[in-house]
Amino acid sequence: MPKVTINDRTVEVEKGATLVDAALKVGVQIPHYCYHPRLSVVGQCRMCLVDIWDRGRKMPKLQAACSMKVENDNWVVRTDTPEVQEAQKGMMEFFLINHPLDCPICDQAGECGLQDYSFKHGVAFSRFQFEDKRTYPGRERIPLGSNVILNMNRCIQCTRCVRFTQEISQTAELGFFNRGARAEIGTFPGKPLENHLSTCVVDICPVGALTSTRFRFAERVFYLDKKPSICTGCEVGCNVTMEHRRGKIKRYKPRFNPEVNDYWMCDYGRSTFERYEKLPRLAAVRVRPEATGNGGFYGGWKEALDLVHRRLREANGSSVAILGSAFLTTEEAYLLNKLAGALGTPHRSVPVDLGPTWTIPNLKGGISGQEQAPNRRGAELVGLTPGEVREGGTLLDATALLKGDAAAQADVVIVSDSDFSEAAHNPQVVERLRRAKLLIVFGWCDSPLAKVADIALPVSTHAEKDGTFVNVEWRLQHFGAAFPAPGQTRPLVDVLVDLLARYDASWSKLTTGQVFDRLASEHPAFAGLSWDDIPAVGVTLNVPQARAAVDAATASAVQEI
């Protein structure tokens, strides 16, 4: 592999790597706007100019680091010579002379490339004193599509968005129109920016020219706290940064994971957290007086779990139906399955909604999801699947419970969680489930189902708990709690551990990590994994399907060669 020396530090890079990427390897950030690792190189912002010595001879001009590819060992690069600094100063001046400098009302302020680089490379005063700034009258708030709004005055013509629609989404809605200082970005007549990835252009816009209708004016970005998380929109499991303030999620931004979603995510995924605000929250333990069997319920979690334990003991264990959810973390599903084991019931299932199939492009060609279920695979891997029914009996699985009259045959129906799918909001389904003698619902959401439950127990949203999901490619991915759960709400893992401790004391006070480690020691798919060692990009589980997929990929790669 060729070597290159950047600011006295030598690094080996892959042949053909750009200097911008090579410099990052030695911790040197070369400022750039138009360059993006997944888009074609156009070298037009001219911010990444560097000095290069080729075999000891200085190149006559400064070179754009984004377009210089390291092919051999000949180069010595400096990013801090007076010439480079002067050029950067000049470029920053050029960017800003016609920029409105409306940072106080700009959504990008706080994460803006112009702010960052002018602080680092620019000057504090303007020499553009006597001339009028170029403006694009009437183009300050143009909706490019339903998700993106363009303010042309702020644009620095880097054309990242244009190249994104040409190369990544391959829909080519955006174009670069006009010339020179009047050049502008726009859509073609009658062809708005509507593709399932459209909001990604807002992420890659280095300035505030493109803003998202969803996040516009919602919050100043410098007030946001950030937590790495996983999108719950579908089985792809896009890595996201959950940006939140005061216990409310404000937006999702895609988080780079080359194995899953690369730099992108879909518009639907970005909207999934809105559910947490839109639907009413189940905030307190709620028990119907009839459910106690002795007049009324007074107390909190301890009393509620004692009651659940008592009612389950009274019931016929094998006629308890457990309706899980594909939104459960793997640990929760594991504990729920343990509960089923303690009760001796075969009636365990995970209902799944199908949505439209969307593909997130990545270097491997893309990853598609159709099930609106972030963790069906995880739940099934730890055994939350229907068991054997004794002769003559019927299996009370999701289909039977939701579409048929099976609930009436069950002594107890335990639903986790209250928002397990769209069905939880369907009056007919709620009515069917209500036919059970006892209906216990865990959930974050006071859905119609939770409202009719005998015992409704408030648990965390996925923003408020730790856990793992297994995605469509059998990749185990970890996420953490962004903020504490409100009110009486507790993470489901804590609740189930408490409940299981009433059957077996060894479960007492286990943390999510300890639950995962137990799970990993029991299930071969998770063999060798431990909570503390799950890599940031996730890890592919050792399951036959995943192995088959890897083999198929290798086979096709061999054929291509």
Residue of 5, 7, 38, 90 interacting with other proteins (CB under 8 A): 90
Find the part of the chain contacting other proteins (CB under 8 A) among 16-24, 171-179, 267-275, 421-429.
Answer: 171-179
For 218, other C-beta atoms within 10 Å of its C-beta total: 15
Residue of 79, 98, 418, 460 interacting with other proteins (CB under 8 A): 98
Who contacts 555 (Cβ-Cβ below 8 Å, separation ≥6)? none
94 binds other proteins per the rule CB under 8 A: yes
120 binds other proteins per the rule CB under 8 A: no
424 binds other proteins per the rule CB under 8 A: no
Size of the site for other proteins (CB under 8 A): 39
525 binds other proteins per the rule CB under 8 A: no
Omega before residue 466 within 30° of 0, cis? no
Distance CA 239, CA 321 (A): 33
Interface characters, 131-150, with other proteins (x: CB under 8 A): xx-x----------------
CA distances 251 to 102, 203, 215, 237, 358, Å, are 23, 12, 7, 16, 20
The pair of structure tokens assigned to 371 is 């099930």
Residue of 7, 139, 167, 176 interacting with other proteins (CB under 8 A): 176
CA distances 320 to 253, 314, 345, 348, 493, Å, are 41, 11, 6, 9, 20
Query: Least distance to other proteins from the beta carbon of 144, Å?
Result: 19
CA distances 2 to 8, 56, 66, 94, Å, are 16, 16, 17, 35
Mode of pairing for the β-strands spanning 438-443 and 455-458:
parallel
Find the part of the chain contacting other proteins (CB under 8 A) among 92-100, 247-255, 325-333, 410-418.
Answer: 92-100
43 binds other proteins per the rule CB under 8 A: yes
Length of the chain as a residue count? 561
Residue of 55, 179, 246, 278 interacting with other proteins (CB under 8 A): 179
Between residue 67 and residue 86, which ones bind other proteins under the rule CB under 8 A? 67, 86
H helices within 98-211, ranges in order?
113-121, 160-163, 200-204
H helices within 260-347, ranges in order?
267-271, 274-278, 289-292, 301-314, 330-343
Residue of 56, 104, 180, 189 interacting with other proteins (CB under 8 A): 180
Residue of 16, 57, 125, 127 interacting with other proteins (CB under 8 A): 127
Residue of 46, 250, 338, 376 interacting with other proteins (CB under 8 A): 46
95 binds other proteins per the rule CB under 8 A: yes
Residue recorded with tokens 């969803």: 214
Distance CA 499, CA 31 (A): 55
Residue of 128, 364, 548, 550 interacting with other proteins (CB under 8 A): 128
19 binds other proteins per the rule CB under 8 A: no
Interface characters, 181-220, with other proteins (x: CB under 8 A): xxx-------------------------------------
Who contacts 428 (Cβ-Cβ below 8 Å, separation ≥6)? none
Query: Least distance to other proteins from the beta carbon of 90, Å?
Result: 3
230 binds other proteins per the rule CB under 8 A: no
Residue of 20, 65, 70, 87 interacting with other proteins (CB under 8 A): 87
513 binds other proteins per the rule CB under 8 A: no
Whether the CB-CB separation of 279 and 425 falls below 8 Å is answered with no
Query: Least distance to other proteins from the beta carbon of 4, Å?
Result: 16
251 binds other proteins per the rule CB under 8 A: no
22 binds other proteins per the rule CB under 8 A: no
Whether the CB-CB separation of 287 and 303 falls below 8 Å is answered with no
Residue of 5, 7, 44, 115 interacting with other proteins (CB under 8 A): 44
Q: What is the crossing angle of helices 330-343 and 512-522, to 10°? A: 70
Which run of H or E residues covers position 496? helix 492-501
Query: Least distance to other proteins from the beta carbon of 46, Å?
Result: 5
Query: Least distance to other proteins from the beta carbon of 134, Å?
Result: 6
Who contacts 124 (Cβ-Cβ below 8 Å, separation ≥6)? none
Query: Least distance to other proteins from the beta carbon of 204, Å?
Result: 18
Distance CA 266, CA 201 (A): 11
Radius of gyration of the chain (CA): 28
62 binds other proteins per the rule CB under 8 A: yes
Query: Least distance to other proteins from the beta carbon of 447, Å?
Result: 52
Question: What does the binding site for other proteins look like in residue numbers (CB under 8 A)?
Answer: 41-47, 49, 60-62, 64, 67, 86-87, 89-91, 93-95, 97-98, 127-128, 130-132, 134, 156-157, 159, 176, 178-183
